[in-house]
Amino acid sequence: MNTTTTTPAAATYQLGGGGYFSRRDWLDWLFAVAVAVGGLFALQRYGAYMDVYEKGILLGSIPAVVWLGWFWRPLLWLMVAVAALSLSAVGLYQGEAGADLARADSVFLLKYFLSSQSAILWMSMLFFMSTAFYWVGMIVGGERQAMMRLGSRIAWVAIGLALIGTMVRWYESYLIGPDVGHIPVSNLYEVFVMFCWMTAVFYLYYEEQYGTRALGSFVMLVVSAAVGFLLWYTVVREAHEIQPLIPALQSWWMKLHVPANFVGYGTFALAAMVAFAYLVKQQAAETRWWKLAPLWLLGIVLCFEPLAFRQDAAAGGSSYWMVYFGISALIVGAILLGRRRIAAQLPALEVLDDVMYKAIAVGFAFFTIATVLGALWAAEAWGGYWSWDPKETWALIVWLNYASWLHMRLMKGLRGTVSAWWALVGLAVTTFAFLGVNMFLSGLHSYGSL
C-alpha cells in the first residue's frame, strides 16, 4: 500500500476541492476589497500628480498585493498591520495648522516609534535581537524551539517596522516639499532598509515551507551585517536625511527597477548563507586541519571584508569597523569551532541544497527582470539601452554568474560542495556590484557614494 507523507507547511498550500476563487474565505475577500478601495482612493485623490505609467503601476499593484496576501497568509496580516500603523503615523503628523514634519519631535508616538527614523532604528535593534535568539536556540538544550520561535516572531516585527518606516518616510518626503517627495528607494540608506526586510521575508517563507528554523541563525547574520552598515552610514554620513532626487532618478522606472533588483540581491544573499550552512554541516565531522582550511579561509574573508570601509577614519569610521571586524571574527570563529553541535541542528544536506537552488532561481528571475527594466530606463534617460557603465558591466557579470550556476544545475546536475562554494563566490560578486562599484569605480550610476 502506497502512503504519502505531507508536512504541515506543505499541507497548507495543497490544492483543495473546487476552483481557486472558491477556496478563498471571507478574510481573503475582505482583504481584496480593502486593497481595491485603498488603491482606487489613492488614484482618485492623487491621480492628477501621476503620469499614465504611474497610474498603471498603481492599478497593477492592486491585484499583485491581493495575490500576495492570498498566496501566503502571514503576508496578509503583515500588510494589514503596516497599512494601519502607517496611516496612524500620517494622522499624527496632522496638526491644527495642517501637516507638519516638526511634529516628529513633539508627538510621543512619532518621536519614539512611528516616524521613519524611529521605526528604522527599532527595526535595526530587533533584527539584532532576532539573530541573537536564533543563535541561542541553536546552542541551548530544552528551550531550543522556543528561542528560535521567538527569533522568528521578532524578525516579523522588525520587517513590519522596516515597512512602516519606509511608508512614513515616503510621506515625510512630501511634507518637505512636493518637488522633494519620492518613493524611498533612491539611495544606499533606503535600499539597505529594503534589503534587510526583503531578505528576512524570503527567509521566513522558506522557514515555514521547510518546517525548520535552524537556518535563521545563518541567514539573519547577513541581515544583521547589513544593519551594521546601515547604522554606520546613518551616523557617519547622516544618510537618513531625506534629499531631493537628482534628475536621472526622477522617473517612474525607479519604482519597478530597484525593488526587482533587491529581490535578486536579497535571495542571492540568502542562498549564500544557506551555502555556508551547507559547508559547515558537510565538514562537521572533519578533524584534519588542512581539510578545514577552505572554511577557515572563508571565515577570514568574511571577517576582513568590513575593513574595506575604513576609508572614513577621520569621521570615526575606523574604530567602528574595527569593532565590527572583532564581532565578525568572534561569530565566524565560534561557528567553525562549534560546527559539530551546529550541524546537528541543521536540516539534511538535501534540504539545504534545495533551499539554495530555489532562492537563486527566484533571485535570478527577478534580477533578469530588473536588468531588462534598467536597459529600458537607460534608453529613456540616456538614449541607449547599454553603455558599459561599471554598474551595468557588473550587473551583467552577476547575471552571467547565476545563469551559469543554474545551467550547470539543471543541465549537468551540479550539486553539493561545488554549488555551495559557487553560491558563496556569487555573494562576493554581487556585493561588489552593489557596493564595490560605488566605492571604487565611477559612472552614470554613482548615486549613492560611500
Q: How confident is the model over 15-43, as pLDDT tens digits?
A: 445 688 888 999 999 999 999 999 999 99
User: Could you tell me which residue, 314 or 187, shows the higher pLDDT?
Assistant: 187
**pLDDT at residue 118 in the model:** 96
**pLDDT at residue 6 in the model:** 47
For the residues of 236-251, what is the DSSP string, one character each? HH-TTS--PPPGGG-S
End-to-end CA distance of the chain, in Å?
64
In whole angstroms, what is the distance from residue 46 CA to residue 58 CA?
11
List, for residues 216-258, the tens digit of each pLDDT value.
999 999 999 899 889 988 887 788 889 888 877 888 888 899 9
Largest CA distance in the chain: 75
Give the pLDDT mean for 424-435. Answer: 89
**pLDDT at residue 314 in the model:** 44
The three grid cell numbers given for residue 26, joined into one nine-digit string: 471571507
The three grid cell numbers given for residue 29, joined into one nine-digit string: 475577500
Q: Are 364 and 410 spatial neighbours (Cβ–Cβ below 8 Å)? A: no
User: Could you tell me which residue, 6 or 276, shows the higher pLDDT?
Assistant: 276
CA pseudo-torsion sign 317, 318, 324, 325:
positive
Distance of CA 37 to CAs 26, 33, 68, 313, Å?
16, 6, 17, 51
Q: What is residue 95's three-state secondary structure?
A: strand
**pLDDT at residue 286 in the model:** 66
User: Could you tell me which residue, 116 or 312, shows the higher pLDDT?
Assistant: 116
Give the pLDDT mean for 326-355. Answer: 87
**pLDDT at residue 15 in the model:** 44
Q: Are 131 and 138 spatial neighbours (Cβ–Cβ below 8 Å)? A: no
**pLDDT at residue 13 in the model:** 44
Q: Are 275 and 356 spatial neighbours (Cβ–Cβ below 8 Å)? A: yes
Kindly tell me if the per-residue pLDDT of 303 is higher than 70.
no
Kindly tell me if the per-residue pLDDT of 10 is higher than 50.
no
- The β-bridge relationship of strands 98-99 and 94-95 is antiparallel
Q: Which band of pLDDT confidence, cut at 50, 70 and 90, is reported for residue 315?
A: very low
**pLDDT at residue 301 in the model:** 59
**pLDDT at residue 404 in the model:** 97
Kindly tell me if the per-residue pLDDT of 201 is higher than 50.
yes
**pLDDT at residue 295 in the model:** 65
User: Could you tell me which residue, 37 or 7, shows the higher pLDDT?
Assistant: 37
The full set of domain ranges for the chain reads: 256-450
**pLDDT at residue 326 in the model:** 75
Compute, in degrees rounded to 10, the torsion defined by CA atoms 163, 277, 144, 201: 20
Block residue for cell numbers 540581491: 265
Kindly tell me if the per-residue pLDDT of 72 is higher than 70.
yes
Q: What is the mean pLDDT of the chain?
A: 86
388: left (phi over 0), alpha (psi -120 to 50) or beta: left
Q: Which band of pLDDT confidence, cut at 50, 70 and 90, is reported for residue 4?
A: very low
In whole angstroms, what is the distance from residue 85 CA to residue 161 CA?
9
Q: Are 74 and 204 spatial neighbours (Cβ–Cβ below 8 Å)? A: yes
**pLDDT at residue 92 in the model:** 95
pTM of the model: 0.90
**pLDDT at residue 385 in the model:** 83
Q: Half-sphere exposure (CA, 13 Å, Cβ side) for 247?
A: 3
Compute, in degrees rounded to 10, the torsion defined by CA atoms 359, 365, 366, 370: 140
Kindly tell me if the per-residue pLDDT of 312 is higher than 50.
no
Kindly tell me if the per-residue pLDDT of 288 is higher than 80.
no
**pLDDT at residue 140 in the model:** 80
Distance of CA 412 to CAs 201, 406, 419, 436, Å?
31, 9, 12, 32
CA pseudo-torsion sign 439, 440, 441, 442:
positive
Block residue for cell numbers 528554523: 213
**Exposure letters 25-51 (e unless 16+ CB within 10 A, then b):** eeebeebbebbeeebeeeeeeeeeeee
Q: What is residue 20's three-state secondary structure?
A: coil
The three grid cell numbers given for residue 409, joined into one nine-digit string: 544545475
Q: Which band of pLDDT confidence, cut at 50, 70 and 90, is reported for residue 142?
A: low
